[in-house]
Amino acid sequence: MTYFLLHLGCQMNQSDAERVRSVIESMGYRSVDREEEADLLGIMACSVRQKAIDRVYARIHKWNQWKKNKSIITFVSGCILPADKTSFLKLFDLLFGIEDLPQLPTILRQYGVPSQLSQTTPNDTSSTDSYWNIEPSYTSSFEAYVSIQNGCDKFCTFCAVPYTRGREVSRPSQEILDEIETLVEKEYKSITVLGQNVNSYGFDKRSSEMKFAELLHNIGEIGVRSKKEFWVYFTSPHPHDMYKDVLEVVSSYPVLANNIHLPIQSGDDKILIKMNRNYRIAAYEKIVNDIRTLLPSATLFTDIIVGFTGENEAQFNNTLKAIRKYRYNMAYIAQYSPRPGAASYRWEDDITTEVKSSRFHAATNVLKEVALEENKKFLNEIQRVLVYKKARRDGFYEGKTEGRVPIQFPSDNEALIGTFVDVHVTEARSFSFAGELCAP
């Protein structure tokens, strides 16, 4: 029996997809790359953009056509808006929330899947009530994502996540620490702790669970005990809940990587209020100052939306000022588009496509200048690099520095993939470096 799983959207969906694969494979299914060859076809849906939702509809219409000639089972999970849920229920054989994943084998049995295929699940998950207890089928042998929380309580007006994933639920800290400890034992080198608002971890459990800084402290201790070299990242923190204690812990443990992703979204207070971001620029700036003081060699990444409803030229210029002032190494800049299910979907999308596009280019150009200046500070330095893959350019390999800046260097040694090497930085570009491998 074979399966095909399409995952759309963010790293949270990728992490969930790894658990879905684990359950399906433990039932005896084998993954195939060609959907035409699969008996079980699934999608981890994303509702962030209409395009992603359209892809789900296009796929299921195609699969339902195939049902005329062969016996297949289809399912959908992931981020699904209530309105889409109603139509998906009519189109797919199965729809389940990720928290119901442990019940998937039982549900499949009702669809005639042979019992020898459906009765076992990894870690006996049929008897557990938490999908987090399912060991993921990690797609990489050296890089892993570890979910620590599901859902969101922030209700930014441009985002539908609180409606698709529900309210924030923190995963028990012991499970997180056990998963990370196992990954370290298996020689994983890059571990990213994932959540919609990682730094509000534990808030939902009040005093019965540790807070994010304490969780990081315990992860740092795993690093000390193991004596192994690895880097732990977290994404994304919300500026509203970003306290100094988190940065102090990061500065105390070498395994907690010097890279902070701090979404700003806009450099203008009025737009931040309209976005319901719950912080103002002065508060954001204080966190950036703390980062620069406590983690002077950390790279700083952010997310920005340009052309949000009602954004005028002066407000957009405040975003440009913010890029110049906070000196990002990387910013994921998006042109605003109303997302179905989000509060702002009901508002007039009054900034023209041309204006959004010109603001996007202006912001990208400022970012390129700033990032280049920042990256030049690393010129002629030796950087520790985790090697990821063969570069497109023949005779070159590609890795990332601790600050998550991509770097290319000449080599013909495939065995370097998944290992740490030292690279001498010989060229700085806006979003990458070039270098030479140092002798081991």
Which residues contribute to the site for ligand SF4 (CB under 6 A)? Answer: 152, 154-156, 159, 161-162, 196-197, 238
| Smallest distance from ligand SF4 to CB 332, Å | 12
| Smallest distance from ligand SF4 to CB 79, Å | 10
Which is nearer to ligand SF4, 196 or 401 (by Cβ)? 196
Which is nearer to ligand SF4, 109 or 154 (by Cβ)? 154
| Smallest distance from ligand SF4 to CB 308, Å | 12
| Smallest distance from ligand SF4 to CB 388, Å | 27
| Smallest distance from ligand SF4 to CB 408, Å | 32
| Smallest distance from ligand SF4 to CB 80, Å | 15
Which is nearer to ligand SF4, 276 or 419 (by Cβ)? 276
Reported for 87-90, long-range contacts at CB under 8 A and 24+ positions apart, including other chains, are 88/45, 88/56, 88/60
Reported for 351-359, long-range contacts at CB under 8 A and 24+ positions apart, including other chains, are 351/307, 351/308, 351/309, 351/310, 351/311, 355/307, 356/306, 356/307, 359/306, 359/307, 359/311, 359/316, 359/335
| Smallest distance from ligand SF4 to CB 269, Å | 17
| Smallest distance from ligand SF4 to CB 123, Å | 29
Q: How far is CA 356 from CA 331, 337, 368, in A?
A: 16, 10, 18
349 close to 335: Cβ distance less than 8 angstroms: no
| Smallest distance from ligand SF4 to CB 297, Å | 27
Which is nearer to ligand SF4, 161 or 180 (by Cβ)? 161
In this structure, the number of other CB atoms found within 10 A of the CB of residue 35 comes to 17
Which is nearer to ligand SF4, 63 or 328 (by Cβ)? 328
Which is nearer to ligand SF4, 150 or 408 (by Cβ)? 150
Which is nearer to ligand SF4, 159 or 405 (by Cβ)? 159
Which is nearer to ligand SF4, 40 or 342 (by Cβ)? 342
Which is nearer to ligand SF4, 67 or 167 (by Cβ)? 167
| Smallest distance from ligand SF4 to CB 356, Å | 19
46 close to 6: Cβ distance less than 8 angstroms: no
Which is nearer to ligand SF4, 117 or 156 (by Cβ)? 156
Length of the chain: 440
In this structure, the number of other CB atoms found within 10 A of the CB of residue 79 comes to 25
Which is nearer to ligand SF4, 222 or 330 (by Cβ)? 330
| Smallest distance from ligand SF4 to CB 393, Å | 36
Q: In the structure encoding, which two tokens stand for residue 233, read together?
A: 């990242």
d(CA 306, CA 64): 39
| Smallest distance from ligand SF4 to CB 156, Å | 3
Which is nearer to ligand SF4, 77 or 411 (by Cβ)? 77
Query: Which residues, at least 6 apart from 273, have a Cβ–Cβ distance to it below 8 Å?
Result: none
